[in-house]
Structure 1
Amino acid sequence: MHVQRREALADETAAKARAAQAEAEAKAAEAARLQQRAETHRSNATGAREQLDEQRAHADSLDPRATAHPEEAQQQPGEVGPTDAPRTAPTDSPHTGPTDNPRAS
């Protein structure tokens, strides 16, 4: 009887080992699949980055002063930018002071 129990224990342990081996192989296959997927994503990202860099270089060649971020744009000395433009509205007639208006008394 004692020998039969040892044989049964050996069979059970061997079955567990086979199951663990199968699980390890499945995990290795999953890891390889995920690694391939990561490489595909990285390749796509690299291609997209290169395309974006080419587009930026082309845009810079068209207008080198333009930037993607307006807050980073620096004005050249003496240049009038949109914030430096006069803010007064043009008038149709010259400005007259209060003393020039006869009704203002």
Structure 2
Amino acid sequence: MTTVSTNAQAISPLVTAGEALVSALSGYTFSENAIKVNSGVTSFLDGLFPTLASKVGFDMEGVLIGATEVLAGLNTTISAAKTRQSVPQTIAVTNGA
């Protein structure tokens, strides 16, 4: 009997977060072909994930999820820093002048 492991898909979100960070830093958008190749490679790695995770002595999925959250946080920070907010300018009037 063959047992099929469930696919955790922890690698694809990590790669997607990395792509978003590169785009936020550089303003570069990935071509359609690059996205197709990337999707194929990450799907392959997601398929291998249960085997890879069984070979390490730590929670590999947890590490990848944490790394994804870090990249997403950096992306949010960088995007916010690049967004120019209009700050209303007020002139202070003192002593009734």
Q: TM-score, normalising length from structure 1?
A: 0.27
Relative CO higher for 1 or 2, CA cutoff 8 Å, sep ≥ 6?
A: 2
Q: TM-score, normalising length from structure 2?
A: 0.29
From the CA coordinates, give the structure whose radius of gyration is larger: 1
